Amino acid sequence: MSAELTIKVRVAAASDEAEDIRRLELVSLDGSLLPAFSAGSHIDVYLSEKIIRQYSLCNAPSERTQYVIAVLRDPQGRGGSAAVHELKVGDEILISAPRNLFELRPEGNSLLVAGGIGITPILSMAQSLAAEGRPFSMHYATRTRKRTAFLEKIRTSAFAPSVSHYWSQEQDGQKLELDHLLRSPKPDDHLYVCGPRHFMDAVIKTATESGWPEGNIHYEFFAGEVMRLDSDEAFSVQIASSGQSISVGPEQTVVEALAAVGIEIPTSCEQGICGTCLTGILRGEPEHRDMFLTAEEQACNDKFLPCCSRSKSRILVLDL
């Protein structure tokens, strides 16, 4: 962790935003403005030496006095959400400056689609688009009203008429018909989707089948979720210093395969965002699936993020 890249903030407010969802307001220690951010940005939150998690900012980018995050408690999680839920008003924590891997395009009509806690970046986008007077509609799917974060904020917002709610477990809940929602895209329509894995897979698949160009579909996976494809195949990695060869199964990450034979690669986000697991490559061609390296760095093929990236070649020789 590099000290100059972190900011110490104080928890100014902590409340239950919805069932199992905790909302935190983070402010600077001296009351100064926080670094500017754009809708779709996330921050790294340093919860302990070993636990760093990425959370989207859900407030309006015009609000520089605070960052708002909302975190779903994940009983199957690795401790990040539980640690956030324990934070109290007055606690001081380190965060990174905001980073945006899920940016709004400067043009076009925006279709915002959120599933569950995926509302966090989408809400910031809605506020940003509304403030700029740009056309958009927002579609927000949750199980019940009680599990719907920011329900009241959305209901009382100026953009409430642009929002449709879908509650899968409410008697009067409207069903989200993706075929209908995503049909006949216009060339300047842009789709932004965030939510649980199965939800995003369904939205992206339907959009693709409905003729949305790949470049107009924008999405961000949650922390801890790594892109896996049915077409993923096994390959081998070789440790340059020892010559040891380790096979990586179709359902394994390189980090998991190495850990299984006792080779530990330090990790944090485990989804290609933070760069902690960056590893050099001496031979072979990686299949980059991270969001950490720039396109130019990826094109060099001399390093990759083994928590999420795979291999196009049968063997990757790692600089380990």
Residue ranges binding ligand FES (CB under 6 A): 267-270, 272-277, 290, 292, 305, 307
Q: Which one-letter amino acid corresponds to residue 212? A: W
Rounded-to-integer distance, Cα 183 and Cα 108, Å: 17
Tokens (6 digits) for 101? 């891997």
- Smallest distance, ligand FES to C-beta of residue 48, A: 16
Which C-beta is closer to ligand FES: that of 81 or that of 267? 267
Cite the beta strand spans of 144-291 per DSSP E.
163-167, 189-194, 217-219, 235-239, 245-248, 279-283, 286-287
Rounded-to-integer distance, Cα 18 and Cα 140, Å: 14
Which C-beta is closer to ligand FES: that of 19 or that of 287? 287
- Smallest distance, ligand FES to C-beta of residue 272, A: 5
Q: Which one-letter amino acid corresponds to residue 128? A: S
- Do 295 and 301 meet the contact criterion of CB atoms below 8 Å apart? no
Which C-beta is closer to ligand FES: that of 149 or that of 237? 237
Place of tokens 């001081």: 92
- Smallest distance, ligand FES to C-beta of residue 225, A: 12
- Do 101 and 273 meet the contact criterion of CB atoms below 8 Å apart? yes
Q: Tell me the three state secondary structure of residue 51.
A: coil
Which C-beta is closer to ligand FES: that of 203 or that of 305? 305
Q: Tell how far CA 12 is from the center of its chain.
A: 24
- Smallest distance, ligand FES to C-beta of residue 199, A: 23
Which C-beta is closer to ligand FES: that of 184 or that of 294? 294
- Smallest distance, ligand FES to C-beta of residue 270, A: 5
Which C-beta is closer to ligand FES: that of 111 or that of 226? 226
Tokens (6 digits) for 121? 């970046």
What's the chain's Rg over C-alpha atoms? 20
- Smallest distance, ligand FES to C-beta of residue 303, A: 11
